[in-house]
Structure formats: structure tokens, C-alpha cells
Amino acid sequence: MLKKDRAQVIVKKLNKLYPETTAPLKSKSNFQFLVAVLLSAQCTDERVNRITPKLFSLANTPDKMMKLRVKQIYDIIRPCGLAPQKSKSIHKLSKIIMDKYNGKIPRNIEELEKLPGVGHKTASVVISKCFNVPAFPVDTHIHRLAQRWGLSKGKNVAQTERDLKKIFPESSWNKLHLQIIFYGREFCSARGCDGTKCDICKVCYPNRRRGIKTNKA
């Protein structure tokens, strides 16, 4: 099966399983979503969703957040992991958003990436969700599945992102990246499948008998 044929099979399967996609992180504003995505680094979405209500009850805007002490932020987000750096980043980016962007998060991915604690993946997730700008944020789930499905041999998430953007039409990126994440968590997890067990892996490579080793992101 050619790569383009595998891509069509994958999209058809994912559209059937996940006809609607909603970002799993809960928020009530673009600023809150940015903070939630930042917190989700090396932390589960479920844990972030348990923690953010308490944080946003104290400060739900950048103006209010910048007026908190860093320790106040840290004490709340500590269960998320990497809390010392994350609490400093949230405090700093809140001040920058107020001072430079009049209290609104920037719509430009390059400007978002300049904010403390905001890397390319976080910025991509934010512009996709908040502004409906086509983006293809690649996390470990997508990186792993892209290799299992023969869509990329990328040695890092940046290379995998470039490969996937060449395969799939831009109009599908915002929905598709979430669909792949959902599928990876439910059917093709790091331990639950090795490239030979889940439905998509078996359809894409029916003759594959040995599991494949994924290049680490």
C-alpha cells in the first residue's frame, strides 16, 4: 500500500471513530487555554483540568495572574510537574501579554513562541484551537503513530510535523491532529500496540509480523 493510500485509509477510519473533535483541556478564554496547554507539558490533561479551576478562580485574566505571587501560582500547579519553571513562565507571560498585547494573546505563532514557556507545539495548539489557524502540533502520540503507519521516519517531532503537513491537506490539520491523539491514547498506545495490533496498523501493514521500534521524539 502506497503512503497516499495509507493516508486515505487512516483519515476514513479516524473520521468514523471521531467525527467531532473537542480539545480535551477545559477553558473559558484564549488566555486560560494558553495557560492550560502550558501546564499540560509532561502532565495529563485530566490532571490539568483538575487544577486549573482553582488557579482561574484566583486569576482568570492576564491582568489578575500577573498580580499573583509566583509562589501562589506554584502552590496550586505543583501537582502538574515542572511547577517551578511553569509558575515563573505563567507569571511572566501574563505581564508580557498585558504590557505588549493589551491583555490579548497574540494570534501569530512566532509571537506566541516568544512568550516564556511557550514552545512550538504549545503555540501550534493555541493558534489551532483559539484562532482556527491551520496547524499540526505533533506530540509523542502523533510522532509514534506516524512511524507505525509509515507516514514519517522523523527522528524528532519537528521533522515528523513537516512530513505530515506534506501528506495531508491543510484544511484537515486542526481536526486530524486531535483525531490521531485520541486514537493513539485509545487504541495504539506506546505499550498497547507495537505496530501490529491495532486496526489501523493491521490495515496499513497486513503482512507486518514484528513490532517496530519508534525513533524517540
> From its phi and psi, is residue 150 left (phi > 0), alpha (psi between -120 and 50) or beta?
left
- Residues 40, 95, single domain; the answer is yes
Arithmetic mean of pLDDT, 35-61: 96
pTM above 0.85, yes or no: yes
In the set 86, 129, 139, 163, the catalytic residue is 139
SS3 102: coil
AA letter at 157: V
Structural domain including 63 reads 30-131
The verdict on residue 53 lying in a domain is: yes
The verdict on residue 121 lying in a domain is: yes
Model pLDDT for residues 120-176, shown as the tens digit of each residue: 999 999 999 999 999 999 988 899 999 999 999 989 999 999 999 999 999 999 999
The answer to whether residue 175 is catalytic is no
- Residues 36, 120, single domain; the answer is yes
Domain count within the chain: 2
Terminal-residue alpha carbon distance, the chain: 26
The answer to whether residue 129 is catalytic is no
Percentages helix, strand, coil for the chain (3-state, rounded to 5) are 60, 0, 40
117 contacts: CB under 8 Å, gap ≥ 6: 38, 85, 86, 88, 89, 90, 92, 93
Residue 217 is predicted with a pLDDT of: 63
The verdict on residue 5 lying in a domain is: no
CATH code where residue 171 lies:
1.10.1670.10
In the set 86, 121, 129, 163, the catalytic residue is 121
